[in-house]
Structure 1
Amino acid sequence: MIAYIHGEVAEITEQAIVLDTNGVGYEMICPNPFRFQADIGQKIKVYTYHYVREDAQILYGFQNQEEKLLFAKILNVSGIGPKGALAVLATTSVQDFVVAVEQEDEKFLTSFPGVGKKTARQMILDLKGKLPFNYTLETGTMEENIDSSNQQALHEALEALKALGYSDREIKQVKPALAKEAEATADTYIRKGLSLLMK
């Protein structure tokens, strides 16, 4: 099993990135390859899942260990393949997915491409209580975990990031981390958000 690859981001396509390591280009299919846009020409570590089947060997790439681990867990769900697992990771954060499974939020789970009620129920059955992530289940929205003065600042920062051209999907992925910032101003949230989005 290839745990990770350290190399230079040489190319980005709609489905994958190519990491150049000592003259060898490793193509890795990613949930959202354009997250690596700021890393073109830079050396980075990409966590990999080596998927093997009779007719193909495919490398899947992830920005962190949590995404890789969740991908592997989702693959264990009956009826879910790599394409479905990638779709989940491309459209939500690890934390939001874990919360949805633990709270049996079928409406949230069926919002993913190709996931109907039957598959959502199977996800809950196969994964509830078995995901090794330490996320609290206090609320489905991170904004409710911070006081009202910070909620407005966070809202302003998210709108600013959207105005800078970042997609709703990208913003949603950094929102949990931003919400953890205590006593932050809109400018602080924006700087932190840009730092996370450019990783």
Structure 2
Amino acid sequence: MIEYIKGKLDDVTPTMAVVDCNGVGYGVNISLNTFSAIQGKSDVKLYIYEAIREDAYVLYGFATKQERELFLMLITVSGIGGNTARMILSALSPSELCNVISSGNEKLLKMVKGIGLKTAQRIIVELKDKIQNIGVESTGNVSTPISAANNEIYEEAVAALTMLGFAQAPSQKVVGQILHEEPDAPVQKVIKIALTRLR
């Protein structure tokens, strides 16, 4: 079992990090929160969850143990797989997710792609007591703005959304609207807003 991978950050997108660990490049699926935490760093340490299936061997990586703990809790809920859990942790920071669950805010959870009313209610009911034990602070993470051309942010955001399973045309439309409203928004903020608008 892999507990964590520590090494040089060779490449990173909003959905995937490649960590060079002694000459082996590990492709690790990440959430938008982890992307925000590791972006711009040369060396990283990602806490790992291994999903081993008949047809695939997938690594999910997290910047903090708390985010991994939330991910592990989410995938215990019926109907929530690894990609859906990652989607939830991309739309909401760990502290926001804990607040949503503890306050029973099913409306916010329903805004995440693939989460219907019943699944949102199930997450709240099953995880309400468990989240109190993982010690996530109730203050949100502060994203670091990226100084890049709008076009680069547009392309990166659209690519990330299509990798998360959204169709390209609506992704392009929504990202375009967001950048029109907030031209200086960093890519992680653009994706976060897009996740609440795409259905």
TM range (shorter): 0.5 to 0.7
> Where does residue 40 of structure 2 map in the other structure?
38
Report SS of the residue matched to 1:10.
strand
Aligned residues of 2:50 and 2:59 also touching (Cα < 8 A): yes
Q: Structure 1: state its 5+ residue gaps.
A: 143-157, 173-199
Highest CA radius of gyration, 1 or 2? 1
Q: 80-89 or 98-107: which moved more?
A: 98-107
Q: C-alpha displacement at 1:97, in angstroms?
A: 0.8
Q: Distance in 1 between matches of 2:187 and 2:80?
A: 26
Letter in 2 for 1:101: I
Report SS of the residue matched to 2:6.
strand
Q: C-alpha displacement at 1:166, in angstroms?
A: 2.3
Aligned residues of 1:5 and 1:48 also touching (Cα < 8 A): yes
Q: Structure 2: state its 5+ residue gaps.
A: 146-181, 193-199
> Where does residue 123 of structure 2 map in the other structure?
123
Aligned residues of 1:99 and 1:135 also touching (Cα < 8 A): no
Q: C-alpha displacement at 1:100, in angstroms?
A: 1.2
Residue 80 (structure 2) pairs with residue 74 (structure 1)? no
> Where does residue 169 of structure 1 map in the other structure?
189
State TM-score, norm by structure 1.
0.66
Q: Distance in 2 between matches of 1:169 and 1:3?
A: 29
State TM-score, norm by structure 2.
0.66
| Cα displacement string for residues 80-132 of structure 1 (whole angstroms, at most 9, x for unaligned residues) | 11111001111111111111111111111111111110110110121111122
Q: CA RMSD of the aligned region, Å?
A: 2.9
Report SS of the residue matched to 2:39.
helix
Aligned residues of 1:91 and 1:169 also touching (Cα < 8 A): no
Q: Distance in 2 between matches of 1:136 and 1:86?
A: 20
Aligned residues of 1:92 and 1:169 also touching (Cα < 8 A): no
Letter in 1 for 2:77: V
Q: Taking structure 1 as reference, are residues 168 and 82 closer, same or farther at Cα in structure 2, changes over 3 Å only?
A: closer
Query: Percent identical across equivalent pairs?
Result: 34
Q: Taking structure 1 as reference, are residues 167 and 10 closer, same or farther at Cα in structure 2, changes over 3 Å only?
A: closer
Q: C-alpha displacement at 1:11, in angstroms?
A: 1.3
Q: Taking structure 1 as reference, are residues 168 and 12 closer, same or farther at Cα in structure 2, changes over 3 Å only?
A: closer
Aligned residues of 2:69 and 2:134 also touching (Cα < 8 A): no
Q: C-alpha displacement at 1:13, in angstroms?
A: 3.5
Q: C-alpha displacement at 1:31, in angstroms?
A: 0.9
The aligned runs of 1:54-133 (5 Å cut-off) are 54-131=54-131, 132-133=133-134
